[in-house]
Amino acid sequence: MKKTFNTLNDCFIRYFFRNMRAVATDKGGEKVLLDFINAVMISADMKTFKAVEILNPFNLKKHYKDKETIVDVKCITKNGTVVIIEVQLSGNSRFPERILYYWSLNYSKLLKKGEQYDALTPVISINLLNFNLNKKNSNVHSCYMIYDTKNKNLL
């Protein structure tokens, strides 16, 4: 009997993007990751990147009561943009809050004590979902941003 393997499985995604760089020459995993991120960016009509470096995906808690988070893949581009990738096979009505929490946690860790706010760089969250985030939207790819709802200016 032939077994099928779900390519949205966390283990597969982590291996594909993170471990490939260890076994491939010329940072092969990072090249595949860069191509994937750029394909998503092009689909959203956004600028692409020239290079990425894979980072530790763990956001360890600093205090006992903090929430510890782990994304599937985390990387940084040459211009300092952080990209986090999360794969989810099943969701619930609170998944948008999880996306925002992971995004904001990564954004809030960009500054160190004494640094100015102009040192902040974008954080992009790419979520590969095996379900519709919004039942009213049948688009395969959606792009959400923080902006003024009245005049559509980005924050």
Q: What is the pLDDT of residues 5-31, one digit of tens each?
A: 777 777 777 777 766 545 444 566 788
In angstroms, how far is CA 26 from the centroid of its own chain?
Answer: 23
Q: What's the pLDDT tens digit per position in 44-103?
A: 999 999 999 989 888 888 888 988 888 989 999 999 999 999 988 888 888 999 999 999
User: What ranges do the domains of the chain cover?
Assistant: 10-129
pLDDT number for residue 101: 96
Task: Give the chain's count of helices (H) and strands (E).
Answer: 4, 6
Residue 42 has pLDDT above 70, yes or no: yes
Residue 4 has pLDDT above 90, yes or no: no
